[in-house]
Chain A
């Protein structure tokens, strides 16, 4: 199958989208951007390939009548076990890398032998972490670093205590090793992992083994041929692509939003370190744009910083703000000052949820200023980026749009984080397919 890939290298996360020859989205993937954009883009592309495989599995299984009603569950199980395979492979890599790091470290630290401690930690880790992939289990994050890291902290601390070792040393080993592991390009043998995962699924289910295997195998035999890749986002110049494979994220976001909602005329994207107001025409072509300049206040990182200051998770901020009964006015949109203002308000006895609601309003006010400088809000208005997932931010945005521009259709796609990558994939498709009309092949 010929397909086209768009990769959006953001400051926080890297996203990839795969579309087929008709522009149909086949899969998407996301990973943390790390300090290594090359690896991040390979991981994101791998994730999108996995997601495409799952789409192909579904298409293959859909044709079997007796499986109807069981397909979703079957695929969920398959993905879960597949993720477990992938996870265990990385955990094994972390295990080996840690032993090596420990040996390197002992040369300098006078020979304390940490092998025993590490063996114990990883033994416990693989059994604890396997549970995260049990049916119905909830994972706090999908990124290896987050899952392995928090478990290592817990297990490591108790092991250090038992063996009378320094926890700090174990922590050092982890810090050093995780960077190496994370920056190693992912292994390629996805098919084997799918087959091993399928073995596990079929062992438990009462489904016809032969039939399912045949369909899954035929879907695996379908080659996913990424014939053209377009990169966008802040890290785009780091992509190992020729220049014509790189597009500005403004254009990609404009086109992506147009594909999600063809009626879009104004796009607001709030990402990790920039906020963009974009005006597009009826073909998704950018007519005007504005971005934040030399200051990332009013961007996603602002909320990240506040979450850190309050010792909370980023995803907990929105729900907390929703509980607010009165919004506290926060005057500063400077990220660092906001931290000071936050502590000041707490000292004055304001409620946390009210302050957090005020902070959400501050970020949206900043975004409204950028939109107005790009030409205002026209119907329809599409909100994208990581912050579009935050319900408190969305609530403030709706309020301000109605106040300033009246009744406007506001579109928010649950997958809006992939908007830029989708636009990039469409640019790739247009560049790579010959049977496009001149209007489609605008570049």
Chain B
């Protein structure tokens, strides 16, 4: 495998943004800034920033550690402390990071958070995770309870309930911890910038509809999401990033180029896939290579919607700042029920002219692995396109069995070939 990775301007830009953010997080002793720890789905970055606070995302730390091959020993550490093999490996990587001196991915000690802001959006493990963190840090903790959209709709009641908590619990907690008074205009400014970035993000993700897609909406997609899912939504940096990214993709379409991979432009597009489930992080490049070596492009994925579903029309709305945050949280992919997820997947297969659906089910994720096989079968039935199911893990390197995954993927690609040939005949 090539060690030299091909990078575009947007990638360099993003890398610098992430580095700056980790540097800001690890230098709060000098800057005096306060830190809120929160999760990606349902994160209230615009609000946190409006108090001048920084945002630290434990699962992003776990991903960073996974990609840098550091998560394995951290998970073992957590297991030594009594966490079972079946516990979410993001949690164990985080616990392991703490017990190893809580060193941030930039190599400097990560300061303890000043506030644990739990935005509870569909993953039941989040609550237990923050319970452990509260025990560890003993800092102020506030929970935003976002009702699960079990019936597939957001009712006024649900929205009111979230708005009430934002006003009565979350904002006062942020005021207390930061010592800054809530400034709704500052929040509106942040939200306006969010919406601008979101427009370009959606444009980029929907470019996968081109036959000869200029992007890979899964492996490439996770890079495109980096800023908007993490500490940058609502910043000018994110607005700039998505403008540059869109420009790059526009150029790729003009030049009729396929997605960029770590080994350069993909020469051909043989298979177009929709993918459900997060990628594996410990063997990310090896996993990706199994796709691009075979000419398989992911044209749409649901993982790129866990931090917000924007392609169905939602944008952060500066005119209704509190309500829009409630709508954002209620609409995250993780907070949607199984029939809605099936609808999304089946529509993606149709709208993006995909050859089928691939599910990457996560061994240690009890929240979202439930129902995935049923979802897959339903999408298969509705679209008539072949589907396949593979299993890996988030950040536990022991759960990535390359030979097995490759075997299934190759079988799946050949299955698509056969089906295509059959329909050509018919």
Which residues of A are in contact with B by a Cβ distance under 8 Å? Answer: 234, 247-251, 283, 285-291, 293-294, 373, 375, 438-439, 441-443
In the complex, the answer to whether B421 meets A443 with C-beta atoms within 8 Å is: yes
Q: Which residues of the partner chain B approach A247 to less than 8 Å between Cβ atoms?
A: 414
In the complex, the answer to whether A251 meets B399 with C-beta atoms within 8 Å is: no
CB-contacts of B377-396 with A (<8 A):
377, 380, 386-389, 391
5 A/B residue pairs, CB under 8 Å, sorted by A:
A251-B411, A251-B418, A286-B415, A286-B418, A289-B411
Assembly CA distance A4 to B404 (angstroms): 28
Assembly CA distance A234 to B411 (angstroms): 12
Beyond A248-B414, A286-B415, A442-B418, whether A234 also contacts B401 by CB under 8 A is: no
B151 within 8 Å of A (CB atoms)? no
In the complex, the answer to whether A288 meets B422 with C-beta atoms within 8 Å is: no
Beyond A251-B415, A293-B391, whether A288 also contacts B401 by CB under 8 A is: no
Supplied contacts A285-B415, A294-B404, A438-B425, 8 more A-B pairs, CB within 8 Å: A234-B407, A248-B407, A248-B415, A249-B407, A286-B418, A288-B386, A289-B411, A373-B389
Assembly CA distance A112 to B373 (angstroms): 65
Q: Which 3 A-B pairs have the closest CB atoms?
A: A248-B411, A250-B411, A294-B401
CB contact between B377 and one of A248, A250, A375 (< 8 Å): that residue: A375
In the complex, the answer to whether B422 meets A283 with C-beta atoms within 8 Å is: yes
Please give me the residue from chain B that is nearest to A290 by CB atom.
B389
B419 within 8 Å of A (CB atoms)? yes
Beyond A250-B411, A287-B386, whether A293 also contacts B417 by CB under 8 A is: no
How many Cβ-Cβ contacts under 8 Å join chain A to chain B? 57
In the complex, the answer to whether B418 meets A443 with C-beta atoms within 8 Å is: yes
Q: Which residues of the partner chain A approach B389 to less than 8 Å between Cβ atoms?
A: 290, 373
**How far does the Cβ of A37 sit from chain B's closest Cβ, in whole Å?**
14
In the complex, the answer to whether A285 meets B419 with C-beta atoms within 8 Å is: yes
Assembly CA distance A438 to B403 (angstroms): 33
Assembly CA distance A289 to B417 (angstroms): 15
Q: Which residues of the partner chain A approach B85 to less than 8 Å between Cβ atoms?
A: none
CB contact between A293 and one of B404, B415, B422 (< 8 Å): that residue: B404
Assembly CA distance A289 to B408 (angstroms): 9
Q: Which residues of the partner chain A approach B424 to less than 8 Å between Cβ atoms?
A: 438
B410 within 8 Å of A (CB atoms)? yes
**How far does the Cβ of A96 sit from chain B's closest Cβ, in whole Å?**
37
Interface centre among B388, B399, B415, B422 (most CB of A within 10 A): B415
Q: Which residues of the partner chain B approach A290 to less than 8 Å between Cβ atoms?
A: 389
Q: Which residues of the partner chain A approach B419 to less than 8 Å between Cβ atoms?
A: 285
Q: Which residues of the partner chain B approach A250 to less than 8 Å between Cβ atoms?
A: 411, 414-415
Q: Which residues of the partner chain B approach A439 to less than 8 Å between Cβ atoms?
A: 425
**How far does the Cβ of B297 sit from chain A's closest Cβ, in whole Å?**
19
Q: Which residues of the partner chain B approach A293 to less than 8 Å between Cβ atoms?
A: 391, 401, 404
In the complex, the answer to whether B380 meets A285 with C-beta atoms within 8 Å is: no
In the complex, the answer to whether B418 meets A285 with C-beta atoms within 8 Å is: yes
**How far does the Cβ of B17 sit from chain A's closest Cβ, in whole Å?**
36
In the complex, the answer to whether A288 meets B403 with C-beta atoms within 8 Å is: no
Assembly CA distance A292 to B417 (angstroms): 23
Q: Which residues of the partner chain A approach B373 to less than 8 Å between Cβ atoms?
A: 373
Assembly CA distance A428 to B383 (angstroms): 31
Assembly CA distance A441 to B377 (angstroms): 28
Assembly CA distance A294 to B388 (angstroms): 17
Q: Which residues of the partner chain B approach A234 to less than 8 Å between Cβ atoms?
A: 403, 407
In the complex, the answer to whether A442 meets B421 with C-beta atoms within 8 Å is: yes
Assembly CA distance A285 to B418 (angstroms): 7
Q: Which residues of the partner chain A approach B417 to less than 8 Å between Cβ atoms?
A: 443
Assembly CA distance A441 to B424 (angstroms): 11
Assembly CA distance A290 to B414 (angstroms): 15
Q: Which residues of the partner chain B approach A249 to less than 8 Å between Cβ atoms?
A: 407, 411
In the complex, the answer to whether B410 meets A248 with C-beta atoms within 8 Å is: yes
Please give me the residue from chain A that is nearest to B393 by CB atom.
A294
In the complex, the answer to whether B407 meets A291 with C-beta atoms within 8 Å is: yes
Please give me the residue from chain B that is nearest to A293 by CB atom.
B391
Q: Which residues of the partner chain A approach B425 to less than 8 Å between Cβ atoms?
A: 438-439, 442
Q: Which residues of the partner chain A approach B404 to less than 8 Å between Cβ atoms?
A: 291, 293-294
Indicate with 1 or 0, residue by residue over B284-298, a CB within 8 angstroms of chain A CB atoms: 000000000000000
CB contact between A251 and one of B391, B403, B408, B414 (< 8 Å): that residue: B414
Beyond A373-B373, A442-B418, A443-B418, whether A288 also contacts B411 by CB under 8 A is: no
Assembly CA distance A373 to B376 (angstroms): 11
Assembly CA distance A286 to B410 (angstroms): 13
**How far does the Cβ of A175 sit from chain B's closest Cβ, in whole Å?**
28
Assembly CA distance A234 to B425 (angstroms): 31
Q: Which residues of the partner chain A approach B388 to less than 8 Å between Cβ atoms?
A: 289
Assembly CA distance A291 to B401 (angstroms): 13
Assembly CA distance A290 to B421 (angstroms): 22
Q: Which residues of the partner chain A approach B410 to less than 8 Å between Cβ atoms?
A: 248
Assembly CA distance A247 to B391 (angstroms): 22
Please give me the residue from chain A that is nearest to B294 by CB atom.
A243
Q: Which residues of the partner chain B approach A248 to less than 8 Å between Cβ atoms?
A: 407, 410-411, 414-415
Please give me the residue from chain B that is nearest to A372 by CB atom.
B373
Q: Which residues of the partner chain B approach A438 to less than 8 Å between Cβ atoms?
A: 424-425
Please give me the residue from chain B that is nearest to A250 by CB atom.
B411
**How far does the Cβ of B286 sit from chain A's closest Cβ, in whole Å?**
15
Assembly CA distance A309 to B326 (angstroms): 61
Q: Which residues of the partner chain A approach B399 to less than 8 Å between Cβ atoms?
A: 294
Q: Which residues of the partner chain A approach B401 to less than 8 Å between Cβ atoms?
A: 293-294
Assembly CA distance A344 to B383 (angstroms): 51
Assembly CA distance A249 to B422 (angstroms): 19
Q: Which residues of the partner chain A approach B414 to less than 8 Å between Cβ atoms?
A: 247-248, 250-251
Q: Which residues of the partner chain A approach B387 to less than 8 Å between Cβ atoms?
A: 288
**How far does the Cβ of B271 sit from chain A's closest Cβ, in whole Å?**
14
Assembly CA distance A234 to B401 (angstroms): 14
Please give me the residue from chain A that is nearest to B410 by CB atom.
A248
